[in-house]
Structure 1
């Protein structure tokens, strides 16, 4: 990196230098190693190495890190080291004092009426930029992908601001599907900060070019190398944008509001021809949930890409549908498009294009949709117990929390072991703990799935054992709910390292016991 920084000495404009430094800092963006803060390890290591080199290239690199590094602590460390080298007489480039010294000019959102992506265009100028004081010197464009849960898909920079905005305005005037609107700098910052937060969660383990090694949520592709190269610059430009005094509240779609929306649709003319009202009700609930939870609270938005993502990616990974619901889903979705499209001001031709996407995806939907009873070799009664809410993504962690549910031991238990109730969970875990305690042999044959009470005089009656069982019950309830989300991620990492289920449970119980609050718990789980 220090050798690559020599190129900085030949540059004349601060923007060129910032782009080079941002790309260097993006080399480890998205890299995560359990127990190690990779950004701090490499960032501070780079600053120390550059400081010891004490060359003009090292000072130029430190100036870039001081202006762009996402970590405030590392920016301060780099600036301190840069000043130390300057006092020693190391020469600095002319542009060094201008890095990050920009002010915003204007912000726009460019997109289409389908609303699949938004290009957030933020323009800035340095004090030394030529031209009128109200004219921008460069623009940063960030692409927000709403079909992938609102993550950033790409980012890029241009100095041809006038040409860019003229193109967007001309397209919006000539194409009825194109849109362009001005937004306040405060609003642009809020949009991009929310998108960056979602993007950080969607890149759990990245490669050097920023491409995630694991899947982004619901099968969406992870952001690519261009975003990694511009990540540090994007963060720096966000710091230059003003923050709203009162951030706009995100739309709240509670259960009652969703139910009202579903009822209005089911009572409409568009839903009149749906023959199976129960299946239609279940299907429209999933359509609304997807729009509210994944599409930034926009259940009425419809588009061909959203249809394909919903049918071929989100549903197969997240929801268990009964056979009747699988058959009804394309018809319910088509009716929903006919009803919701006009309410979201979508032109008739765009509604027809979205309907075409439904029927073109129907065959692939039947192929892509997984039946968990077939895929995992489970009895349908087991699937019903583990997924009463139809959340297919919860199946692995719930099987881990309550493995006895997948065995034949509880096939004829009469519904006594219901994992959705405290009593059922307790009964399941008492069975789970039975072999883990030193129970006298004369009691072992007397205890079976037919009774959830421990044998008299067993170790389960000991206060320490009862306390351990209660702790396990609290952990199992968290695994059932996925609370917090990184609890199951920590368990998976431990299992991948070859630890037994018992050892994983003990580790997680220790973390839960040591955590001071929920924030501390999340941090400790990330370090497991």
Structure 2
């Protein structure tokens, strides 16, 4: 989709590493009046609208519509900046009632002798140009550009619509200058995309429907993952949408209940049996279960086109399935890849996708499946670092535990002499062999039983530190390791520095053992990093 390039803002939000202090409504209103006073007596229309849209974006982000209260305060204030706010809000207010209230408040202020801002009567009156959209051929996402004004006043509203999770929600919207350049970029992207892209002119009424419905869906989502610009340009985009005339009638959402889903699944298995798919597909309980999951997913997340297939939609389905709390069972997990591929083939044939588009779709699904398989293998590999005695309910604590033990023992396969060994790091003796494997220069002397004292001490210290990391006892070892790692030191450099601290505090205990003072050792570790 086309990149989003906003025009320069009227003002920038102040950046700070600290959270701003909560502000009272009267304090906020005072700042608002100051902003409108700074516009002067002859601001450009777009300048007024951008300021107002950003102001409304601030309370959109907090979920607290301050419009009615600010209108009341402005009506009581009755100053030129207050009149400017009322005139602007009468044009950009979110709903007809708010705009009417602001207009009435402005009329009341004018009756009391304050002149209406010169620009108020024509605010937002821009000519409507053409609307264009690019989209992927699958219908996962679309960029919509609507042009307004001409000459020096020409600008565009550019929106990015996502049909994967919430059926056409607007996840990004900006006002762009030089819309002809953006349109040229959209043409170029469509040409480069070939059969995988759609580029077409959109009737104004349909564009309004897409914008208003899409922003309404975004408004209904709790904490939507929108761009930083969305809130600033949201109100202005809705204001421009109203210039596009009457919206088209929305298509009626088709019925896709249990019977329709059952019919679709029957058609899918008939296709798999008659037409054949890239993968052999058995009609059994597991494959039926996956097909039912796909149909239910379409009904929930893509109600207008529940059987539509697209790379992003099916990737989202797979992520949802594997990230869910339900245990799928081995049979369903085994059937899932082939069923999803076959479902994609069936959908591509039904939707008339080209051979190239179908191939790209299947290739994208394979990539997602490979990534998920790698993620699963990483989870499985993490199991070897747990012996079942750990009682870690906090996910962050579990991540730290695994990171610590994987730092202590990065690999569970080692080579000692001519033998490649896969070992269990939870067993202390096998863990020692994994440590030995990291010192191939010692293997010959170990095998010949001519291991000198210096080598023996080095290996003993490394084994001790690895055990300390494994058990997190003392915890100061892992804390020191993280500090040193944070400064860019590699694992071997970190362990070498810890060994030096340990060596300073070792004292003979018996002829065959050493001991150290724990407090002194921890104090030495605290000085590292």
* TM-score category (smaller protein): 0.5 to 0.7
What count of residue pairs does the alignment treat as equivalent?
Answer: 339
> How is 1:430-509 mapped onto 2 (pairs within 5 angstroms)?
none
> How is 1:9-88 mapped onto 2 (pairs within 5 angstroms)?
9=40, 12-29=43-60, 31-32=62-63, 38-39=64-65, 42-88=66-112
Q: Does 1:335 align with 2:342?
A: yes
Normalising by structure 1, what TM-score? 0.58
Q: Does 1:200 align with 2:200?
A: no
Of residues 223, 231, 235 in structure 1, which corresponds to 2:234?
A: 231
Shift of 1:21: 0.1
Report what 1:326 is aligned to.
Answer: 333
Deviations 1:433-481 (A, max 9, x none): xxxxxxxxxxxxxxxxxxxxxxxxxxxxxxxxxxxxxxxxxxxxxxxxx
Deviations 1:250-286 (A, max 9, x none): 3333433332322222232118612462111110121
Of residues 170, 187, 212 in structure 1, which corresponds to 2:188?
A: 170
- Whether the 8 Å CA contact 2:42–2:118 is kept in 1: the answer is no
CA distance in 2, matches of 1:231, 1:328: 44
Whose radius of gyration is greater, 1 or 2?
2
Report what 1:408 is aligned to.
Answer: none
CA distance in 2, matches of 1:332, 1:22: 47
CA distance in 1, matches of 2:367, 2:123: 47
Q: Give 5+ residue unaligned stretches, structure 1.
A: 33-37, 204-211, 213-220, 370-528
- Whether the 8 Å CA contact 1:304–1:358 is kept in 2: the answer is no
Shift of 1:157: 0.8
Q: Give 5+ residue unaligned stretches, structure 2.
A: 1-31, 380-529
Secondary structure of the structure 2 residue equivalent to 1:252: coil
CA distance in 1, matches of 2:166, 2:120: 38
Q: Does 1:287 align with 2:318?
A: no
- Whether the 8 Å CA contact 1:9–1:93 is kept in 2: the answer is no
Shift of 1:80: 1.9
Q: Does 1:3 align with 2:34?
A: yes
> How is 1:295-444 mapped onto 2 (pairs within 5 angstroms)?
295-313=302-320, 316-317=323-324, 321-344=328-351, 345-346=353-354, 347-363=357-373, 366=376
Shift of 1:31: 3.8
Secondary structure of the structure 1 residue equivalent to 2:39: helix
- Whether the 8 Å CA contact 1:147–1:309 is kept in 2: the answer is yes
Q: What CA RMSD, in Å, does the superposition of the two structures yield over aligned residues?
A: 2.9
Deviations 1:59-100 (A, max 9, x none): 211111110011322222221222233344435543322223
Structure 1 segments of 4+ aligned residues over 6 angstroms from their partners: none
Secondary structure of the structure 2 residue equivalent to 1:48: helix
Shift of 1:314: 5.6
173-182 vs 294-303, greater mean Cα deviation: 294-303
CA distance in 1, matches of 2:302, 2:99: 35
CA distance in 2, matches of 1:68, 1:228: 14
Normalising by structure 2, what TM-score? 0.58
Shift of 1:26: 1.6
Report what 2:396 is aligned to.
Answer: none
